[in-house]
């Protein structure tokens, strides 16, 4: 085990996979000299050169389509998006081409394409650089979708994505890049898709959280433990495939569920998770499922207003206590 930052885990995983397989290469805006806007490809060009760390024009539709073509031709491209918000610029390329190519060709066309980038709040990047877009990709069949919340998950899920023969979208979070954690030194360390992580076991209420809210949920759980409330915290890690069995097993045990994410509450992944839990575990519920997400407005530039839009730890506390029919904090 080694202690690494989240972004270091990503960079070293890409480096190791490029050493292992000469078909793996990286392309994106400013990935060569600058190393990407958050340094995920920093200094990789010194080892692999500009043919395998390739700068692209500012055209997401163009270089995502180029990545698709390269994947179909036998390469294993990793395409970096500066901000996941910019995936919307390439909506047709992603939804109508990348997601459907294997299906259209009856599985004969392999598409080992990884599209990775960051999203989320925390830096005051405002309305068009702070959105959370995972629900879009969960909606359209054809993608696998990973959302790592720790350095170990960032390494293990990314390596699994790179070695997969299907298109995988790996959504990182800008506020997590500087966080640290232990990462296995094994160059073949992989985390299987479709396997949720029970981060903390508990018996009173299940909290399902993604990205930065995993740590916030853990902090809330430790606080509530002092009040005698035992919170189970689960990180799905991948939304496609989704480990719904682990989520429903937990809810059957606790009888209560709180789902929290940074994306807008309306139409967010919490709605889908809640619906599936209701369908599969309704008789076990002792309270309605609580869903927490961003308010229905564009993300503000001002950090104070940004915090007012997305859920805060006290919101999680209140939601948990509502499921327990306790007075709100």
Evaluate the omega torsion of the peptide bond into residue 241 and state whether it is cis, within 30 degrees of 0.
yes
**Cα angle 6-7-8, degrees, rounded to a multiple of 5:** 90
Contacts for 59 with CB less than 8 Å, ≥ 6 apart: none
Distance between first and last Cα of the chain: 40
- Determine phi and psi for 182, rounding to 5 degrees: -80, 135
In Å, the largest CA–CA distance within the chain is 61
Catalytic residue among 12, 17, 29, 60: 60
DSSP run (H or E) holding 228: none
User: Hey, what are 169's tokens?
Assistant: 């979208």
What DSSP designation does 299 have?
P
Contact in structure between 316 and 220 (CB atoms under 8 Å): yes
- Within the chain, where are the H helices? 6-20, 44-48, 60-72, 91, 101-104, 134-139, 151-163, 212-225, 244-254, 269-281, 303-309, 313-323
129 is annotated as an active-site residue? yes
Question: DSSP 3-state assignment of 73?
Answer: coil
User: In Å, what is the CA distance from 175 to each residue of 10, 68, 178, 184, 316?
Assistant: 14, 29, 7, 22, 19
Instruction: Decide: helix, strand or coil at residue 249.
Output: helix
Pairing of strands 144-146, 238-240: antiparallel
Q: Which of 129, 173, 261, 264 is catalytic?
A: 129
Annotation marks residue 182 as catalytic: no
Which sequence positions are flagged as catalytic?
Answer: 60, 129
């Amino acid at each position: 085990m080694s202690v690494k930052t989240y972004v270091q885990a990503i960079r070293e995983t890409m480096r190791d996979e490029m050493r292992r397989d000469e078909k793996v290469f990286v392309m994106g805006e400013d990935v060569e000299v600058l190393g990407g806007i958050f340094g995920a490809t920093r200094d990789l060009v010194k080892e692999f050169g500009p043919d395998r760390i390739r700068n692209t024009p500012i055209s997401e539709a163009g270089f995502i389509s180029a990545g698709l073509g390269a994947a179909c031709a036998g390469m294993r491209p990793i395409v970096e998006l500066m901000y996941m918000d910019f995936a919307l610029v390439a909506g047709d390329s992603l939804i109508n081409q990348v997601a459907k190519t294997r299906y259209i060709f009856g599985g004969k066309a392999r598409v080992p394409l990884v599209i990775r980038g960051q999203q989320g709040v925390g830096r005051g990047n405002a309305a068009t650089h702070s959105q959370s877009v995972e629900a879009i990709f969960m909606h359209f069949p054809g993608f696998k979708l990973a959302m790592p919340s720790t350095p170990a998950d960032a390494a293990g899920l990314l390596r699994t994505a790179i070695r997969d023969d299907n298109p995988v979208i790996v959504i990182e979070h800008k506020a997590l890049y500087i966080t640290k954690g232990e990462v296995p030194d094994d160059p073949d360390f992989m985390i299987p898709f479709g396997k949720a992580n029970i981060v903390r076991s508990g018996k009173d209420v299940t909290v399902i959280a993604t990205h930065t809210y995993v740590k916030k949920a853990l902090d809330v759980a430790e606080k509530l433990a002092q009040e005698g409330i035992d919170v189970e915290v689960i990180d799905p890690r991948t939304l496609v495939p989704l480990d719904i069995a682990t989520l429903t097993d937990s809810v059957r045990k606790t009888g209560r569920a709180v789902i929290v994410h940074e994306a807008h509450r309306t139409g967010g992944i919490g709605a889908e998770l809640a619906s599936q839990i209701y369908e599969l575990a309704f008789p076990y519920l002792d309270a309605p499922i609580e869903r927490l997400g961003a308010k229905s407005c564009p993300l503000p530039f001002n950090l104070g207003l940004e915090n007012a839009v997305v859920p805060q730890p006290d919101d999680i506390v209140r939601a948990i206590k509502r499921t327990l029919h306790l007075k709100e904090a």
